[in-house]
Structure 1
């Protein structure tokens, strides 16, 4: 890339809804104003990205949009080329399929490159299921750790759950996990089996939707309840307790 001294464009980090809620019910009007100004976008999935843009700005000409995809198949060479408009003075918006780019979603790589090449990064306000769940859990919000996905292998997953419980007890640190929706019930059942009776578990499902469910209880109480998550997107949060 030719990093010239001319005025660079910005890279806007644009959140999107975390459920099927209409975008303008959960996103500030400032996001619409930004999208109105942009024609270059980096998205996780082009079809989903275009649909989101159309919902926010229905009169925007889709044929004028220049869309680049950012996912696990994106090469380092492609990543570098994605910033070319910014280096030429043209601003770009980055979108993930749901929530905030760069937080448990693609985006960090291109944002890191933006810093490297002196491109100003402008994050916009919007929903994050991780933060919403943490806010609603009643657990320690001064010291918490987001651990992403737990291992798929049963043995390694059990080890990870117990390790994070130990850390939580030792450091008074809240531990946050996510799981693929179709494995949510399996993870919940395993947590009931291996976590201590006093450990607090928060389950936050379908955040921002009409079917939203958020509850924090000790494992001993969870064991008495019949809960089926049924492939719903969930955030799991634990806090060790003596």
Structure 2
């Protein structure tokens, strides 16, 4: 008889956030697959749980997934945990779930903490529809390209970012998405937990004044509003008028940006489209 695979959510900071069902599952399985055995051992020690641990992280996930599947097929029950939060959500886990499903092995979720959901719940931004993107690209160029690809999304946007890149990412958000309302949650459930809310420019200015920024960060950004579409149409109309008056692209961008009080970068992107269309006409 095949064993069962349990996907167990663990605390994202405060060890008391683990569920009773998660503790019961961890006590009863035969093996626990985890990212960092030191981190998981700390959690297990707090609740007097002793189980064999298998290291299962992004660098050995493919190989270990096959080994764990063999154990499951031999009848062993296995729990997969990450260092914090829910396995598979920007953490190792999906490969073994996929393999287990293909092999007819039962996969059981044991839900609990997730930084993305926790941050979204306190953001004050719409929660009926949202899109989660994990970590943004590290490269500035790729990050801007990615943000451009989701600029039209009406859903609330959620992603993770490191404290080392958060200032640059906020600048990119303002440049590409505009100065939207955002919420940044840092050190969730820990002693120095903090959520900063407001326009992206205001949050950026607050963080710029700090000597250092610590802790993993969850960024929540409001989606694109219909009013923004209307504004885009207004920008396009103004740019066309400027072109008809004989203004250069640069002059038109400066004029429209000043008249409408919006970012030159946003106007410039629209101007490129207008100029290209007019050139082909």
TM-score greater than 0.5 by the shorter chain:
yes
Tell whether 2:87 aligns with 1:101.
Answer: yes
Contact 1:184 1:231 survives alignment (8 Å): no
Counting only pairs closer than 5 Å after superposition, residues 182-201 of structure 1 correspond to structure 2 as 182-197=164-179, 199-201=180-182
Tell whether 2:7 aligns with 1:13.
Answer: yes
Match of 1:167 among 149, 152, 160: 152
Moved more, 107-116 or 179-188: 179-188
1:15 positional shift = 1.3
Tell whether 2:108 aligns with 1:122.
Answer: yes
Contact 1:49 1:97 survives alignment (8 Å): yes
1:114 positional shift = 1.2
Q: Distance in 2 between matches of 1:107 and 1:219?
A: 33
Q: Which has the higher contact order (CA 8 A, sep 6+)?
A: 1
Contact 2:89 2:134 survives alignment (8 Å): no
Taking structure 1 as the reference length, what is the TM-score of the superposition?
Answer: 0.82
1:102 positional shift = 0.6
Task: Give the equivalent residue in structure 1 for 2:140.
Answer: 154
Q: Distance in 1 between matches of 2:101 and 2:204?
A: 48
How many correspondences in the alignment? 223
Task: Give the equivalent residue in structure 2 for 1:89.
Answer: 75
Give the aligned CA root-mean-square deviation in angstroms. Answer: 2.2
Match of 1:51 among 37, 42, 50: 42
Contact 1:8 1:89 survives alignment (8 Å): yes
1:148 positional shift = 1.7
Match of 2:200 among 207, 212, 219: 219
Task: Give the equivalent residue in structure 1 for 2:64.
Answer: 78
Q: Match of 2:11, SS?
A: coil
1:189 positional shift = 4.0
Rg larger in structure: 2
1:67 positional shift = 2.5
Tell whether 2:230 aligns with 1:230.
Answer: no
1:181 positional shift = 3.1
By percentage of residues, which structure has more helix?
Answer: 2
Q: Match of 2:59, SS?
A: coil
Taking structure 2 as the reference length, what is the TM-score of the superposition?
Answer: 0.71
Moved more, 221-230 or 175-184: 221-230
Moved more, 90-99 or 148-157: 148-157
Q: Distance in 1 between matches of 2:207 and 2:32?
A: 44
User: Taking structure 1 as reference, are residues 107 and 223 closer, same or farther at Cα in structure 2, changes over 3 Å only?
Assistant: closer
Q: Distance in 1 between matches of 2:205 and 2:161?
A: 23
Task: Give the equivalent residue in structure 2 for 1:139.
Answer: 125
Task: Give the equivalent residue in structure 1 for 2:163.
Answer: 181
Task: Give the equivalent residue in structure 2 for 1:3.
Answer: none
Contact 1:179 1:235 survives alignment (8 Å): yes
